[in-house]
């Protein structure tokens, strides 16, 4: 991201009333300034990104500094090595350390589902929830794997079955069109992370207008 791209991103978010912009930590204060007149758009940044291998102390410091700069939500990546080694107490402690640093600022915990088995996804999600996560998020968008690397419908359904109703889910990675976005929401996502937000909402607007312009054909619902 360049400063000019940041300006464009924030302008689009304000125009289309997106929930958030998710940006690198170095741009948080600038994004807050750019969005000061768009009260419905929050600023998110990431810590321990994208591999989660930073120490808990450094993730916590990143979170505190970002919040001081004006970040309204924090996205962290779990320590994937700990998860693959089934060091679940360490996974939970890592999340708890960042959650405590966040205080009342909502924390989203990224599992990077492409690297985890279903059993590992379930355990990681439960541990993150118990440690204070407000959201469980599927992916960073940076994973490389033989299978799907972003959000999948199966993963969303699995997470929704696993988590408490009060714990939210963010689907991220590979959401590029309106149809996919709607399927993700229907599968249990509360929030969508996508770089195709403008295209998605414009397609929705086009569809909505097309329905309004249809002739009356006997009272069918669309």
Active site residues: 75, 137, 170
Output the six-digit token pair for 74: 């924090």
What are the backbone angles phi and psi of residue 107, rounded to the nearest 5°? -110, 125
Candidates 120, 191, 123, 210; CA nearest to 151 is: 191
Which residues are within 8 A (CB) of 195 and not within 5 positions of it... i.e. 6 or more apart? none
Which residues are within 8 A (CB) of 47 and not within 5 positions of it... i.e. 6 or more apart? 25, 54, 59, 62, 63, 66, 74, 75, 76, 77, 98
SS3 76: strand
Output the six-digit token pair for 203: 């397609």
Beta bridge partners of 43: 21
Region of residue 139 (left: phi > 0; alpha: psi -120 to 50; beta: else): beta
């Amino acid at each position: 991201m360049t400063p000019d791209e940041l300006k464009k991103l924030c302008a689009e978010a304000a125009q289309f009333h997106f929930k958030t912009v998710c940006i690198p930590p170095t741009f948080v204060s600038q994004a807050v300034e750019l969005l000061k007149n768009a009260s419905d758009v929050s600023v998110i940044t990431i810590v321990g990104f994208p591999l989660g291998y930073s120490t808990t102390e450094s993730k916590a410091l990143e979170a505190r500094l970002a919040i001081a700069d004006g970040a309204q939500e924090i996205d962290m990546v779990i320590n994937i090595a700990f998860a693959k080694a089934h060091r679940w107490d360490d996974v939970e402690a890592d999340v708890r350390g960042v959650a405590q640093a966040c205080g009342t600022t909502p924390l989203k915990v990224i599992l990077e589902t492409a690297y985890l088995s279903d059993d590992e996804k379930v355990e990681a999600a439960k541990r993150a929830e118990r440690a204070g996560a407000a959201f469980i998020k599927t992916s960073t968008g940076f994973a490389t794997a033989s299978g799907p690397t972003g959000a999948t419908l199966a993963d969303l359904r699995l997470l929704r079955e696993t988590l408490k109703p009060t714990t939210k889910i963010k689907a991220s990675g590979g959401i590029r069109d309106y149809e996919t976005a709607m399927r993700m929401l229907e599968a249990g996502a509360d929030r969508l992370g996508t770089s195709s937000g403008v295209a998605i909402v414009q397609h929705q607007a086009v569809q909505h207008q097309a329905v309004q312009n249809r002739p009356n054909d006997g009272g069918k619902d669309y």
